[in-house]
Amino acid sequence: MIDLLSLHKQFILTHVKEGDICADFTMGNGYDTEFLARTVGMSGKVYAFDIQPAAVESTKRRLAEVGCPENYTLICDSHHNAAKYIDCKIKGGMFNLGWLPGGDKSITTMRETTMPAIETAISLLDSDGVLTVAVYPGHPEGDAEGKMIEEYLSGLSRFKLCVTKIKIVNSPTSPYFFLIETK
């Protein structure tokens, strides 16, 4: 079976290279932060966001344990505030919506902050840039979040962005993701 979370990394690799600037808009336990940091190398930069101090600490610990390049800034703030921290164009960004794996499942990403975060991320995208947005429709907020994101993305100009949805069709509660590429 297709591994959607691995697949979205393959799309990132078609756009992001050493020396680029990227953002992990939903840090969690730092797996995407590590992936981006290793991809951009020491000459690149990664900004990573999470509202939970436990996520920031978990990521900080994990990145140190695995010997990740120290080219990242971990930010304990909502992803919708990304423009307060990033003052340049980014080549890539990743959203992995839902809750902190192993954490409190009552704390999830919310439509009220996810939508402005995605709008900000798109505005920060450089030419030939890419964003991935993984959605988890297996809980009510995740389902509503995904529908809202799809409605928004479907209204964007196809002459400026290419937006693709990748989903397992015969498994309605399985995660899926959007791929947003600048032209």
Classify residue 99 by its DSSP letter: B
- Residue 95's pLDDT is 94
Return the amino acid letter for 63: L
Beta-sheet pairing, 45-50 with 72-76: parallel
Dist CA 17 CA 54 (whole Å): 30
Of 85, 67, 110, the closest CA to residue 24 belongs to 85
Classify residue 77 by its DSSP letter: S
- Residue 108's pLDDT is 66
End-to-end CA separation in angstroms for the chain: 31
pTM over 0.85: yes
Beta-sheet pairing, 176-182 with 161-166: antiparallel
- Residue 140's pLDDT is 80
The domain total for the chain is: 1
Dist CA 4 CA 168 (whole Å): 9
Tell me the backbone φ, ψ of residue 157, rounded to 5 degrees.
Answer: -65, 125
- Residue 51's pLDDT is 92
| CATH number of the domain where residue 156 is located | 3.40.50.150
Domain of residue 107: give its range.
4-182
- Residue 111's pLDDT is 66
Residue-wise pLDDT tens digits, 36-84: 999 999 999 999 999 989 999 999 999 999 999 999 999 999 999 999 9
Of 141, 118, 133, 140, the closest CA to residue 176 belongs to 133
Of 95, 152, 151, 160, the closest CA to residue 126 belongs to 160
pLDDT of the chain along its 183 residues, tens only? 778 778 989 999 999 999 999 999 999 999 999 999 999 999 999 999 999 899 999 999 999 999 999 999 999 999 999 999 999 999 999 998 875 566 666 666 666 789 999 999 999 999 999 999 999 888 788 898 999 999 999 999 999 999 999 998 898 888 899 999 998
